[in-house]
Amino acid sequence: MAKRAKGSGTLRKRSDGRWEGRIIIGKDENGKNIYKTVVSKKKYECEERLKALLDEKSEEEKAKDDRRRSRMLEEFQELLDYIDKHYTEDLTLENASSMMHFSPSHFSKTFKKLMGMNYVTYVNMVRIEQAIQMLTSNQHRMIDIALECGFSNIRSFNRTFKEITGYTPTDFSAQVDPDLYKTTYYHRKSAEAEYVEGDSTTMRPNFS
């Protein structure tokens, strides 16, 4: 009867008295397991060779995981760049998850883990940032700002603006110096980190 060796390999004593160990090293094109087998006269020798194979497999899997993560982060940054350029469009969670090749639920969890906020909040912060720039110019009607920043109506714009800034658009534009405030959304543009621990989705005084 085969015994379980350390890791995911199996070990057994053959009829000729030698020890045989094997591990799964992958799958073929039909999804069936591909095995690597080692044979030694001594049990401990077989165990050591099996352990070496398991360590090698672990390093290969780690390298693959690192490559997958690197690709995912590159695609994630491309998504953020896309949002910056297309904030006026209908940026649904379903479309964003499709761009990342994730299911909507997995995308939501991953986005919040990386950014510290949910996807909808992030998109709204990008839009409100643009709205603030238009407000400070005093050259646009409120309804035009709302529509040009991706909001479907003025009510949705007013509600979202106040949730993020603490002000209504009208009250914010009436501030003596609107530039006195900044959104913590700017932290995502830091060269050192895409997400700052403890970041929030509100406005705060810019005294730095």
> 5-16 pLDDT, tens per residue?
444 467 888 888
Domain chopping of the chain, boundaries:
3-67, 86-205
Give the distance from CA 24 to its chain's centroid.
30
* Look-up of token digits 């390298």: 63
Amino acid at 81: D
pLDDT for the residue numbered 198: 44
Is it the case that residue 115 has pLDDT exceeding 80? yes
Query: Cβ atoms within 10 A of the Cβ of 163, count?
Result: 14
Confidence of residue 159 (pLDDT cuts 50, 70, 90): very high
> 15-62 pLDDT, tens per residue?
888 888 887 777 777 778 877 888 888 888 888 888 888 878 777 777
Phi, psi dihedral angles at 131 (to 5 degrees): -65, -40
Q: Is 180 helix (H, G, I), strand (E, B) or coil?
A: helix
**High-pLDDT (> 90) share of the chain, %:** 31
Is it the case that residue 143 has pLDDT exceeding 90? yes
183 vs 18, more confident = 18
Half-sphere exposure at residue 10, Cβ-oriented, CA atoms within 13 angstroms? 10
- Looking at domain 86-205, what is its CATH homologous superfamily? Homeodomain-like (1.10.10.60)
Q: What gap in Å lies between CA 44 and CA 19, rounded to an integer? A: 9
- Take residue 42 and report the two structure tokens written for it: 């001594």
